[in-house]
């Protein structure tokens, strides 16, 4: 039997923990909270995966809830977004075992709450979205500053989350208007290439599969949908089509979905306080037009409150799956909850 075991409970946030993000080398975990801070957690020296401590706190900068954050692909920078309308870019500076973060840039433009931030794979662009229904793309300048490249309108409501395609100039956004939009680049112009309709309530979270051929989305309608890119466009112009629906598993809103970068695993965090792990069935794969996923693990009461975010630990890219497995014997998952806690879990396959 596959299982998810609790390795560590990280205490420190004074209010709801909204989001967790692993650094690209999997050594640091950043968490965001309504207490207006970001906490950075690291493993204690010699403590293995179960001993963690808070190695830095970013407490100045946001005057309201810190909703989300994202590490740059190089791991040196952390982008942080807040309900106060700002996005801030912080540079990591080592100070012995402790770290400190210095403010590099403030990105201002959103009218009100910024909900999500994501860094493109090449580190050249940062995308943000918010309650003003817009998605902004910012470009990193040589002097360390950021310039707005485009402001994308199209969603008719609050935009909850943005995520980049892992290898192509393509951005995904999820909204309170129940849709997911795909934004693509044409020359220097960005445009909405597709709108994915299927959810019947707010889409809270989206996650690309490692190869970028499929997308998972989680919604207030209590389902997770899997979308796949097809070579042939539909008459309406769309290439991305829904190929699977995970319904009947979640009793309440699904706030977060995470797709493991190299394993056929989906994790979800929901308003019913549970974390669930789904494994893609034997024989099903990105090539399948009708993939199937099985619920493998349910941790009821994973948090004493809604589970707002789940994130698989990232491990350094390895040439082969075997090398990756050897480098990372444990598959780690982090979660953030309404109980103010951040938790680290270990997943073991059967």
Which residues make up the interface to other proteins (CB under 8 A)?
16, 34, 64-65, 67, 83, 112-113, 115, 131, 158, 160, 176, 201-202, 220, 252, 271, 304-306, 338-339
Nearer to other proteins, 296 or 339 (CB): 339
Nearer to other proteins, 34 or 346 (CB): 34
Place of tokens 């609050």: 158
From the number of C-beta atoms within 10 Å of its C-beta (0-12, 13-18, 19+), residue 187 rates as exposed
* Nearest CA-CA partner of 271 in 297, 230, 308: 308
Q: What residue ranges in 143-233 does DSSP mark as E strands? A: 146-152, 159-164, 170-175, 180-186, 189-196, 203-208, 214-219, 224-229
Nearer to other proteins, 194 or 338 (CB): 338
d(CA 214, CA 157): 24
| Contact assessment for residue 73 and residue 122, using Cβ atoms and an 8 Å cutoff | yes
Nearer to other proteins, 161 or 244 (CB): 161
Q: How far is the CB of 248 from other proteins (least distance, A)?
A: 17
Residue 253: partners with Cβ closer than 8 Å, 6 or more residues away: 204, 219, 220, 222, 270, 271, 306
Q: How far is the CB of 270 from other proteins (least distance, A)?
A: 11
d(CA 218, CA 258): 9
Query: Phi and psi at residue 291, in whole multiples of 5°?
Result: -65, 160
Q: How far is the CB of 273 from other proteins (least distance, A)?
A: 9
Q: How far is the CB of 64 from other proteins (least distance, A)?
A: 5
* Nearest CA-CA partner of 69 in 26, 107, 33: 33
Q: How far is the CB of 299 from other proteins (least distance, A)?
A: 17
Q: How far is the CB of 157 from other proteins (least distance, A)?
A: 9
Nearer to other proteins, 23 or 34 (CB): 34
| Contact assessment for residue 129 and residue 137, using Cβ atoms and an 8 Å cutoff | no
Nearer to other proteins, 154 or 305 (CB): 305
Nearer to other proteins, 114 or 171 (CB): 114
Q: How far is the CB of 81 from other proteins (least distance, A)?
A: 13
Sign of CA dihedral 133, 134, 135, 136: negative
């Amino acid at each position: 039997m596959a299982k998810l075991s609790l390795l560590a409970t990280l205490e420190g946030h004074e209010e709801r923990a909204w989001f967790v993000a692993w650094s690209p080398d999997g050594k640091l975990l950043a968490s965001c909270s309504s207490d207006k801070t970001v906490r950075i957690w690291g493993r204690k020296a010699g403590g293995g995966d179960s001993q963690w401590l808070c190695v830095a706190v970013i407490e100045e900068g946001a005057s309201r809830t810190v909703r989300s954050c994202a590490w740059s692909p190089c791991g040196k920078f952390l982008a942080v977004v807040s309900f106060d309308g700002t996005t801030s870019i912080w540079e990591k500076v080592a100070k012995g075992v402790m770290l400190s973060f210095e403010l590099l840039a403030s990105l201002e433009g959103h009218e009100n709450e910024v909900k999500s931030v994501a860094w493109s794979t090449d580190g050249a662009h940062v995308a943000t979205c918010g309650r003003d229904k817009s998605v902004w793309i910012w470009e990193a300048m040589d002097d360390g500053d950021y310039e707005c490249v485009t402001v994308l309108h199209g969603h008719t409501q609050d935009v909850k989350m943005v995520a980049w395609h892992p290898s192509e100039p393509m951005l995904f956004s999820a909204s309170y208007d129940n849709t997911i939009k795909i934004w693509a680049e044409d020359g220097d112009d960005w445009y909405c290439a597709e709108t994915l309709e299927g959810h019947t309530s707010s889409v809270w979270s989206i996650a690309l599969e490692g190869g970028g051929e499929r997308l998972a989305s989680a919604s207030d309608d209590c389902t997770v949908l899997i979308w796949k890119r097809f070579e042939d466009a539909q008459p309406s112009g769309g290439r991305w089509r829904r190929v699977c629906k995970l319904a009947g598993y979640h009793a309440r809103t699904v706030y977060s979905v995470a797709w493991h970068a190299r394993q056929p695993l989906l994790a979800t965090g929901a308003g019913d306080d549970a974390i669930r792990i789904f494994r893609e069935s034997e024989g099903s794969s990105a090539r399948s037009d009708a993939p199937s996923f099985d619920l493998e693990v349910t941790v009821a009461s994973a948090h004493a409150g809604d589970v707002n975010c789940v994130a698989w630990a990232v491990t350094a890219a390895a040439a082969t799956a075997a090398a990756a497995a050897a480098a990372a014997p444990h598959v780690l998952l982090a979660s953030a909850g309404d109980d103010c806690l951040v938790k680290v879990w270990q997943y073991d396959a059967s």
